[in-house]
Structure 1
Amino acid sequence: MTLPLRRLAGTLAALALLAGCNGGDEEKPKPAPHALATYVPGTWQDLPSVTDADLLAGFTAWRNGCEKLARNPVWAPTCEAAQAVPGDPAQVRAFLQSTLEVYGLRSAEQQAKGLITGYYEPVYRGSLTQTPQASVPVYGIPDDMIVVDLASVYPELKGKRLRGRLDGRVLKPYDTAEVIGREGVQAPVLAWLTDPMDLQFLQIQGSGRVQLDDGRQLRLGYADQNGHPYRPIGRWLVEQGELSKDQVSMGAIHAWGEAHPERVPELLASNPSYVFFSARPDSNEGPRGSLNVPLTAGYSVAIDRKVIPLGSLLWLSTTRPDGSPVVRPVGAQDTGGAITGEVRADLFWGTGPEAGELAGNMKQQGQIWMLWPKGQALPDVPKVP
């Protein structure tokens, strides 16, 4: 490491609280070269069978993301050829098998199974103006928050950003969620919600809608984040002895908040991360993920982009909370601060309470295969110890 980089490393350690998580479309720094054991070469016969309906739906969802991969040298040729494939299961299968290779994902412990969770686009009651019932602000990007792209000076730190506020000539960490909740922030208020727990879950999901009294819905999407690390509020409840690890779900957390309203500020303060939003055009399509294409309910997933490149086509085998199988191709079209690991995915289930019920109870075991263009080098991932 050169002397300037050694000095910068010390600076980054001192400013660790300024490093932002990826809640939106930031590119992560390039990881270390992968160990071959992480991607296990396989065959198409290794994949669990899928229905024709799931095959077509998953292929279509992935192909919708190809508009963002046109300049990607790995995927561009495959995406271009995919546009001409008709909606016929036999021809889709033939296309996939002729252009893509199969690789099974393995954890650092060489396990084939990992954690598959779910997420959704929530709809919460609210108002465009503050009222006695709706008094929880949903903030846009703060006017005084400064974002420093370190790659503009050090290309080796591509994807790393610092977020803070100037205090004289000194850049200091931006406010934590606790401070923002208590003192507010210099930012536009996009809407007002009726429940602080709704705001927390809106930030966890990264997008959502506000149901207004006149019947309209305001659509919100991730815009930025305060630079502090995300810490699951469910973990805090476990540490406090309020819930067991097996009991943690969105429903259980919300129920705890309703039963202990006096402790909700303490619960929310345990997660220093705070997400800022922007208003999005209303439409019938899904919210846009990190790939900036609409997510498809049941066929788009959030992944750890250090392991799986954004835009990749995956083969997912898991179950719903009731045990019924979920086997299908899915598009890796989103990311999330809590989605980390070699065998890890967050399945998007759609919009509204039914999708929320399904997503909130989704803590399943599952396997993931990556379908990778033939002749292309595998992506770099962290080394397996």
Structure 2
Amino acid sequence: MIRTLAAIALVMAGPLPGKGSAEEAGPTYDIMEFSDLDGWENDDHASALQTFRETCRDLDDPDWRALCRAAGDNPDPRAFFELFFRPVRITHGSDEALFTGYFEPELDGSTRPSPRFRWPLYRMPREAEETRPWLTRRDILTGDAMTGRGLEIAWVDDPVELFFLQVQGSGRIRLQDGRTIRVGYGGANGHEYRSIGLELIRRGTFSEHEVSADRIKKWVRENPLQGEELLLHNPSYVFFREVSEVPADKGPLGAMNRSITPMRSIAVDPAYTPLGAPVWIEKDGRDVMRRLMVAQDTGSAIKGAQRADIFAGTGAEAGQWAGSLKDPGRMFVLLPIQRAYALLPDPTL
């Protein structure tokens, strides 16, 4: 499961709104027509259908299984979605949508430690699985709990990039011999994430509108002693596993344990949006986007009915795009027709 950078950036910028009476009343479902979707006719529906096929076979429900069989018969892509689905706008409390982005980082590393490559990526030890919560980040990095156990997957040359790799939860390690190791989320120590961005705001280092992942990285590198202590402010610690079964030309694994697709996969709140469902995105702000995507991932800070995190791809360029994304708009979940209409209130009640 990917832990999204932009989702964490949202947390760094401030706490999520508290629950009010509107939220407690439950979500609202508005069934729309495809003609209500701005730009629907102009999208590449074939690309969206290909992404939908990536995870539809894992949907264990009769309605979805039937649609997956139909998707495998090479239908006309746009006609497939319009025939079998209805767009549903789901709101709960505030109807303001928020779109952020995330990516798969790449780090330079080695399978052996050296003066340059000093910071290890660890597999999850057995005790961390059995004891919740386990040791804090400070305990793990300053103690000897991990010493001499052979739990290292690789060593990297930048502790700041490693910290943000843990925030993302997956990435690639470029080795000195030209090979690449792909790593994925392997578990955590059970402590709650504590935002280092909010801590810098609390200290007065940055104002709320100034804080970003790039600014944090720059500050830590320019202030190495204070920076090291800042990273220890977050007690949460993420372990990794090698994901060698995923080909290099495929995206990282999402919450459905399938590869996700750049600019077609999103992370959502599964309390409102079923994993595997197509979702129509109308993102305003920078780089206006009207696109059919698929809900194939989740994130600890992706909360709400009108909330999505867009997977931008792999590497620094994708990271720059994702890291600054925080835009409004609308989103609609495409649900099987019978399931969509079952959400409407019973008029006889």
Return the alpha-carbon distance in structure 1 between the equivalents of residues 48 and 202 of structure 2: 39
Q: How does 1:197-346 map to 2 (within 5 A)?
A: 197-281=160-244, 282-319=247-284, 323-346=286-309
Paired residue type of 2:102: Y
* Corresponding residue for residue 169 of structure 1: none
Moved over 6 A (4+): 377-380
Mapped to 2, the partners of 1:22 and 1:355 lie a distance apart of 15
Corresponding residue for residue 32 of structure 2: 42
Distance 1:349 1:371, change over 3 A: same
The separation in 2 between residues aligned to 1:378 and 1:317, in whole angstroms, is 23
- Tell me if structure 2 keeps the 8 A contact 1:130–1:192: yes
Q: Which residue number corresponds to residue 183 of structure 1?
A: 143
Match of 1:93 in 2: 78
1:106 aligns with 2:106: no
Q: Deviations over 1:301-326 (max 9, x none)?
A: 11111221211110011147xx2211
AA aligned opposite 2:103: Y
- SS of the residue corresponding to residue 245 of structure 1 reads coil
Distance 1:62 1:102 in 2: 15
Change (3 A) 1:379 1:211: farther
Amino acid corresponding to residue 263 of structure 2 in structure 1: G
Structure 1 pair 241/339, CA: closer, same or farther in 2 (3 Å)?
same
Q: 1:107 to 1:240 in 2, by over 3 A?
A: farther
Superimposed CA distance per residue, residues 343-384 of structure 1 (whole angstroms, 9 cap, x where no aligned partner):
11111111111111111111111311001111126899xxxx
Letter in 2 for 1:324: D
After TM superposition, list the pairs within 5 Å mapping 1:128-143 onto structure 2: 128-143=111-126
Post-superposition Cα deviations, 1:33-78, rounded to whole Å, max 9, x if no partner, equal: 9956432222212211146553222222122111212x32341111
Verify: 1:76 aligned to 2:65, yes or no.
yes
Q: Percent identity?
A: 36
- Structure 1: gaps (5+ residues): 1-20, 25-32, 148-162, 165-172, 381-385
Q: Secondary structure at the match of 2:161?
A: helix
Question: What is the one-letter code of the residue matched to 1:94?
Answer: A
- Alpha-carbon displacement from aligned partner over 1:185-239 (angstroms, at most 9, x marks no partner): 4460101111111111111111101111111111101111111122332222222
Structure 1 length normalisation: TM-score?
0.77
Q: How many residues align?
A: 320
* C-alpha contact (below 8 Å) 2:43/2:291 kept by paired residues: no
Is 100-109 or 128-137 further displaced after alignment? 100-109
Aligned equivalent of 2:50: 60
Following superposition, the deviation at residue 270 of structure 1 comes to 2.5
Whether contact under 8 Å (1:128, 1:190) holds in the other structure is yes
Q: Secondary structure at the match of 1:376?
A: helix
Once the two structures are superposed, what CA deviation does each residue of 1:68-89 show, in whole Å capped at 9, x if it has no partner?
Answer: 12x3234111111111134xxx
TM-score by length of 2: 0.85
Structure 2 gaps of 5+ residues are 5-22, 344-349
Cα distance, 1:174 vs structure 2:
0.4
User: Deviations along 1:99-147, whole A, 9 cap, x unmatched?
Assistant: 11111132412x2x32211111110111111111111110101132234
Q: 1:40 to 1:279 in 2, by over 3 A?
A: same
Distance (whole Å) between structure 2 residues aligned to residue 81 and residue 247 of structure 1 = 48
Q: Distance in 1 between matches of 2:195 and 2:41?
A: 36
Q: Which amino acid aligns with 1:72?
A: D
Residues 105 and 367, structure 1, Cα contact 8 Å, conserved in 2: no
SS at match of 1:117: strand
Partner of 2:159: 196
